[in-house]
Structure 1
Amino acid sequence: MVTKISNNESEHSVHVLVRPEVAELPPYGAGQTLQQAKANRPDVEMINLSVNENPFGVSPRVTRALDESLKTSACYPDSQCRQLRQALAQQLSFPCDSLVVGNGSEDILAMLCKAFIKPGDKVLVARPTFSLHPIYANMMGADVTAVSMTANMQYDVDSWLTHISQMPDLKVLMLANPSNPVGCTLDHKSLTACVAACPEDTLIVLDEAYFEFAQDENAFADSLAILSAQSRPWIILRTFSKAYGLAGLRVGYGLVSDSQMVDYLDRVRTPYNVNSLAQTAALAVLDDPGYLQQTVDLVRQERMRLIPVLQDMGLFVAPSLANFLFIDCQRNASEVAGLLLGYGIMVKPWQEPGYEHYIRMTIGLEQQNNRFVQALAEILKDNKLKTGNL
């Protein structure tokens, strides 16, 4: 006999049991997939410019490697990702025992917060930012402070330095470089100043999910050189989801200041957090530099082409060294995104307070970007939305 519990009773019992920090967390807005959007609008050719995926799809080397790897899918993967860590260590000239691999870089971010943040710890993040930075810190009961961008959507270094100076017990400094969702970056001087201002025991967390698109730019800081030259604990997070085209397989990695940190992270992660197919795919795409270069070249070329076009439409475009553009539509971004969906184009409307008139648009193939520009121009020209409607 199965005992049925009413919804009210069930909700009440769960509400009593849940940690208050969890009850107050906002849900992560992942949005719908391209397949879901196509199912909802079968009459329109859909393109997904909302989640910063690689427009070239999977590297052919990855496809071949996965075909072979499927044969051993009944076996557990290497829980330590030894082969992948060794390949990364060789490519990056970095100690293997100071590398950690996760189910996407956000998995490592969650491990960091579980291992190092306790209730009341001071954490400094950016605004706007990748939402899991404050969400995971708040999950652990941290006291999170957000530092806003400047009016022209650059990191406000003076404000960061002021906040740091007022927090002698700062536990974690957490920021993305390039920024997500803005795309702006901290240069060598600015990043060095922010790190140097922190207390000696502050954990520096740099999220470099878009590293590959910015690494050769003069305006982009060499974070590994900067952090290695000082004594504070640190971790640099990177991912295979963006430039390497493995978003669906979920694999990211972190470079850490001390192998002891890897040991602590191992204690809070799930034992087999990176599946065997993800490990195989990451190894294969690391061995395909031509695929990565093709991706980076496309993004740079299209980024340079798109920005002046959008500016000529009277729109502000935030400075970006990533594979996306953060665009001030001067209108309610959710309404703009909804109208673009009618044209078969998916973009991300930003929901963070104060930035609800911005959309984030992934840089795709040339013809996809042209469709986006044409559709946005039609929406603005037809005046379907009133400015200031936030």
Structure 2
Amino acid sequence: MADPAFWQRVPEGIRAMAPYQPGMPIDELRRRMGVTDVVKLASNENPLGCSPAVRAVLGRDHALARYPDGGGFALKARLAAFHDVAPEQITLGNGSNDLLEFVARIFLGPGRAAMYSAHAFAVYPLAAAAQNAPSVVVPARPVDAEDAYGHDLTGFARALSDDVAAIFIANPNNPTGTCLPAGAVAEFLGEVPESTVVVLDEAYWDYQDPATRPDIAALLARHPNLLVTRTFSKIYGMAALRLGYGLSHPALADLLNRVRQPFNNNSLALAAGEAAIDDQGFVAESVALNRTERARLERALRDRGLGVLPSHANFVAVDFGRDAAPMHQGLLEQGVIVRPMGSYQMPHFLRVTVGTEAENTRFLTALDTVLAAGSADAAS
């Protein structure tokens, strides 16, 4: 079928884009395969859900006929106190993805390139392409390195040029789970021209060993071109409410707020965010569960002869040493949803979210069935 006439007006970058593919919803697997007992370990959600304090807030009357606070005053005050920054340094987003889009809209375009690592978060190339901007994709660390598939900041520094307008660094990185040394992040920021914006995407910051975290307060004070993004979707278990935020110099926050849509955060999300920040006990419980179960998953997978990238997040990247698509399909047939990584140019890998003890056991049991079936097929 011929393209409609308006297609000729679409920028080349958008014409070449493929839509972002989210993890398969539970109901979709039920519809597609008739599986009733489904475990979803594909989208890096908190298996504990959200804080009881958040659930209590969501049950209140939020005057839904009224527009929300477009400036997010109360939540910004909570976040400012939590991070010891001024409210003017905070930008609220409809998920932290919103902040990535703001940066792309302001700084990227023809002749103004984005830089990011291979095997990094899929939204970076999408945000660049939507602005018809070129991308500088820096090869990841080699597969035989201790930090295989991680960001190579030395390579980033070599690739810097006047055309690079924005740099995206995911730390820890999705989908690999790799993490950069704090000193390396600080050193790299010192090499970046102040005219180039650096986005330090810390969606999985809470799961990272505190000893390895960069000193964000010090970096923000030193680098007015730095934006640090965080999300309520992961550790706080609020993925459906779409709430994220950025920390930056007030001048950068001012620019971001100029392109931010009015009322981009709904009243439920804003109220839930306040309650979530106040319940750090729930955060500690979630971190403890993830630490224990992630270690158990990594051991169990290695015991099965599979490769596992050392993870600093709430998921593990599993290397099957061959095309993992049949393993993904087999797990779906067993009612277990994980994430294939072919779109990240890692076709031998599956990404598995760390669930509860029961969910992880269910995954391992299903995996044993799939591996056994694959061995039987190979022997026949």
TM-score bin, normalised by smaller chain: over 0.9
1:248 alignment partner, SS class: helix
1:318-329 matches, within 5 Å, as 318-329=309-320
Matching residue within 13, 38, 44 for 2:36: 44
Change (3 A) 1:165 1:149: closer
Tell me which amino acid in the other structure corresponds to 2:267. Answer: S
Is 1:183 the counterpart of 2:174? The answer is no
Give the aligned partner of residue 200 of structure 1.
194
Of residues 132-141 and 245-254 in structure 1, the stretch that sits farther from structure 2 once superposed is 132-141
Change (3 A) 1:231 1:67: closer
What is aligned with 2:356? 365
SS of 1:68's partner is coil
- Of 300, 324, 330, the residue aligned with 1:309 is 300
Range moving further from structure 2, 221-230 or 176-185 = 221-230
- Contact preservation (8 Å) 2:199, 2:228: yes
Instruction: Look up the match of 1:224.
Output: 216
The residue number in structure 2 matching 1:4 is: none
Shift of 1:366: 0.4
| TM-score, with structure 2 as normaliser | 0.93
Secondary structure, counterpart of 2:195 in structure 1: coil
- Aligned letter for 2:306? L
Residue 241 of structure 2: SS of its match in structure 1?
Answer: coil
Aligned AA (1:228): L
**Superposition pairs of residues 365-384 of structure 1, within 5 angstroms:** 365-383=356-374
Deviation at 1:12, TM superposition (A): 2.2
Give the TM-score of the pair, scaled to structure 1: 0.90
**What's 2:58 paired with?**
66
Supply the distance in 1 between the matched residues of 2:303 and 2:123 (Cα, whole angstroms).
34
Displacement, 1:162? 3.7
Q: Secondary structure, in 3 states, of the residue corresponding to 1:174?
A: strand
Query: Which shifted more, 95-104 or 151-160?
Result: 151-160
CA distance in 2, matches of 1:156, 1:128: 7
Q: Aligned partners of 2:244 and 2:373: how far apart in 1?
A: 43
* RMSD (CA atoms): 2.1
3-state SS in 1 of match to 2:168: strand
In 2, are the aligned partners of 1:192 and 1:226 still within 8 Å (CA)?
A: no
* Cα contact 1:165–1:197 (8 A) shared by 2: no
Change (3 A) 1:93 1:262: same
SS at match of 2:199: strand
Specify the SS of the correspondent of 2:66: coil
- Pair 1:54–1:385, CA change in 2 (3 A): farther
1:164 counterpart residue number: 157
State the SS of the aligned residue for 1:27.
coil
Give the letter for the 1:211 counterpart. Answer: W
Per the alignment, residue 28 of structure 1 pairs with 20
**Post-superposition offset of 1:36:** 2.5
Distance (whole Å) between structure 1 residues aligned to residue 235 and residue 327 of structure 2: 27
- Indicate if the aligned counterparts of 1:165 and 1:198 stay in contact, CA closer than 8 A: no
- The answer for the alignment partner of 2:48 in structure 1 is 56
CA contact (8 A) 1:207 1:236 kept: yes
Structure 2 gaps, min length 5: none
1:331 CA displacement = 2.8
Amino acid aligned to 1:142:
A
The answer as to whether partners of 1:108 and 1:254 remain within 8 angstroms in 2 is yes
Aligned to 2:6: 14
> Partner of 1:154 in structure 2?
147
Give, as a single letter, the amino acid of the residue that structure 2 aligns with 1:255.
L
Query: Retained in 2: the 8 A contact 1:157–1:190?
Result: no
SS of the aligned residue for 2:91 comes to strand
Moved more, 170-179 or 37-46: 37-46
Aligned mate of 1:211, from 205, 218, 233: 205
1:133 Cα deviation after fit: 1.0
Change (3 A) 1:142 1:223: farther
1:3 alignment partner in structure 2: none
Name the counterpart of 2:104: 113
One-letter code of the match for 2:167?
A: L
Structure 1 pair 159/324, CA: closer, same or farther in 2 (3 Å)? closer
Number of positions where the alignment pairs a residue of Structure 1 with one of Structure 2: 375
Q: Distance in 2 between matches of 1:177 and 1:335?
A: 30
Return the letter of the residue paired with 2:43.
Answer: V
Deviation at 1:377, TM superposition (A): 2.1
| Per-residue deviation, residues 66-93 of structure 1 (Å, max 9, x unmatched) | 11144x1110001111110100011111
1:32 deviates by 2.5
Alignment deviations for residues 162-196 of structure 1 (CA, whole Å, 9 cap, x no partner):
44234231322211000100111011222122222
Matched residue of 1:274: which SS? coil
Report the Cα offset of residue 246 of structure 1: 0.2
Superimposed CA distance per residue, residues 194-253 of structure 1 (whole angstroms, 9 cap, x where no aligned partner): 22222232211110000111152x2x2324145235335110000000000000000001
* Inter-partner Cα distance in structure 2 for 1:193 and 1:266: 29
Asked whether 1:78 is paired with 2:69, we answer yes
CA distance in 1, matches of 2:148, 2:251: 31
Shift of 1:42: 4.2
